[in-house]
């Protein structure tokens, strides 16, 4: 195991019981080896961006992880697959979507992974929940840049620590 790193992960779903998929994924992330959820945002509802289908339920978690960025990405993809994620075409509706937004201060550019996530600054459904769990990573200018995107909080889950069973 490596020295723990603080990472932020975006969660989204718009098929089936999307809220349950997102909250279940939060628990699955908290159960990953060498990984602990430190904070979770509220759930947010937003219309699909560059896609079709029902509205999305979105959230962000901040974690401490001893996994490398590629290992964390692989674990997140495993959680997606366990939730029935299919990728029939780009931006297809999905049962669960997990994106590694930030991995400490690392800048990673590979065929499989780009960190920081290249489109996070253009998406209110990422920035609003990210601001709840890592306010130092989101500026007022960032929020202002996406102010025209419709997004609403749908629950009162606070940015509280994850729970372990």
Note the pLDDT tens digit of each residue in 58-111.
999 999 999 999 999 999 999 998 887 766 556 666 889 999 999 999 999 999
Report pTM: 0.89
User: Catalytic one among 40, 45, 85, 137?
Assistant: 85
Which pLDDT does position 105 carry in this prediction? Answer: 95
Contact call for residues 154 and 43 (beta carbons, < 8 A): yes
Decide if pLDDT at 165 tops 60. no
Q: How confident is the model at residue 48 (pLDDT cuts 50, 70, 90)?
A: confident
Instruction: Fold for 5-153, please state it.
Output: Alpha-Beta Plaits (3.30.70)
Respond yes or no: is residue 94 known to be catalytic.
yes
> DSSP states of 64-107 as a string?
EE-S-HHHHHHHHHHHHHHTT---SSTT---S-EEEEEEETT--
59 CB contacts (<8 Å, ≥6 apart)? 10, 11, 12, 22, 26, 40, 41, 42, 43, 44, 129
Contact call for residues 91 and 48 (beta carbons, < 8 A): yes
Note the pLDDT tens digit of each residue in 125-162.
999 999 999 999 999 999 999 999 999 999 644 433 33
Respond yes or no: is residue 55 known to be catalytic.
no
Respond yes or no: is residue 99 known to be catalytic.
yes
């Amino acid at each position: 195991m490596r020295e723990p790193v603080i990472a932020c992960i975006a969660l989204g779903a718009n098929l089936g019981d999307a809220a349950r998929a997102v909250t279940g994924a939060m628990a699955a992330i908290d159960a990953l080896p060498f990984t602990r959820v430190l904070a979770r945002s509220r759930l947010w509802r937003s219309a699909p961006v560059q896609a079709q289908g029902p509205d999305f339920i979105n959230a962000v978690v901040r974690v401490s992880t001893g996994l490398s960025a590629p290992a964390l990405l692989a674990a997140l993809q495993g959680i997606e697959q366990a939730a029935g994620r299919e990728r029939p075409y780009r931006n297809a509706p999905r049962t669960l979507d997990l994106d590694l937004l930030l991995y400490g201060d690392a800048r990673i550019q590979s065929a499989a992974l780009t960190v920081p996530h290249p489109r996070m600054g253009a998406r209110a459904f990422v920035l609003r929940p990210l601001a709840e769990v890592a306010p130092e990573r989101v500026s007022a200018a960032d929020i202002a840049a996406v102010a025209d995107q419709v997004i609403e909080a749908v629950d009162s889950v606070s940015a509280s620590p994850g729970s372990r069973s």
